[in-house]
């Protein structure tokens, strides 16, 4: 039996998703939703901290609380040197082969494509890094568009990256959902008037994410199919 829920008690999420037959597009966050990159991010952050800051315990737990944001923005929030970005990105590329898709994600994406839904990625990563990783994993071609935070004026939690995805896919906010594992993802979706869906299968701060009031909560990737039409109908008018 599914554990998916809509407008969970104790949260402010009460909107729910578009009707199944109206949904035409899905916008995904990348890290923690499509790919399990937590350990690689930890290793890259640790190396970058040691290389730029020096001795001491890298504050990765604090960094993890800001996931979903663009890396330079996280450095500004944490008061860390922006120079950490170069070694962080270098190590992330070097270890990219260690990043797997979450179980069931490949099958989910293929099923969504077969049903005729449009798919996009809106990530805190840069566009080139995100496309490189998805290409290495063999799923890049399943997406209509992959947009990085360096490719919009304002990264999450601003709505720009979600709005850009909708623009490129030529769908209305009411015809899409945004799936993320961070509060910044939900905020970006809401600011774009898109249904905010919380993904609970990764290394997310569950209590914090639920407190943000997602419109829908999914415990497994395949639960997304319950929100989607069996086949996207042609738009009328």
What pLDDT digit, counting tens, does each position of 173-192 carry?
A: 999 999 999 999 999 999 99
119 and 22, same domain (yes or no): yes
Q: What's the pLDDT tens digit per position in 36-81?
A: 999 999 999 999 999 999 999 999 999 988 888 899 999 999 999 9
112 and 177, same domain (yes or no): yes
Reported pTM:
0.90
50 and 90, same domain (yes or no): yes
Q: Count of domains in the chain?
A: 2
φ and ψ of 189, to 5 deg: -65, -50
Q: Is residue 55 part of a domain?
A: yes
203 and 217, same domain (yes or no): yes
104 and 172, same domain (yes or no): yes
Q: What is the CATH number of the domain that holds 120?
A: 3.40.50.1000
13 and 74, same domain (yes or no): no
Q: What's the pLDDT tens digit per position in 107-144?
A: 999 999 999 999 999 999 999 999 999 999 999 999 99
- pLDDT, residue 233, reads 79
118 and 62, same domain (yes or no): no
């Amino acid at each position: 039996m599914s554990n998916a829920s809509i407008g969970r008690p104790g949260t402010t999420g009460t909107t729910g998703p578009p009707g199944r037959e109206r949904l035409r597009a899905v916008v995904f966050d990348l890290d923690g939703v499509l790919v399990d990159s937590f350990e690689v991010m930890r290793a890259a952050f640790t190396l970058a901290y040691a290389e730029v800051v020096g001795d001491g315990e890298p504050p990765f737990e604090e960094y993890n609380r800001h996931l979903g944001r663009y890396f330079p923005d996280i450095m500004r929030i944490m008061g860390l040197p922006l120079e950490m970005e170069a070694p962080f990105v270098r190590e992330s590329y070097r270890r990219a082969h260690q990043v797997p898709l979450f179980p069931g994600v490949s099958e989910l994406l293929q099923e969504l494509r077969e049903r005729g839904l449009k798919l996009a990625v809106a990530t805190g990563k840069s566009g080139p890094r995100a496309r490189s990783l998805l290409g290495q994993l063999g799923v890049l071609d399943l997406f209509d568009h992959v947009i990085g935070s360096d490719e919009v004026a304002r990264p999450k939690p601003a709505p720009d990256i979600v709005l850009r995805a909708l623009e490129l896919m030529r769908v209305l906010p009411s015809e899409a959902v945004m799936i993320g594992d961070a509060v910044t993802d939900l905020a970006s979706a809401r600011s774009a008037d898109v249904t905010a869906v919380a993904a609970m299968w990764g290394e997310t701060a569950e209590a914090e994410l639920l407190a943000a009031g997602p419109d829908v909560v999914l415990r497994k990737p395949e639960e997304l199919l319950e929100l989607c039409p069996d086949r996207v109908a042609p738009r009328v008018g």
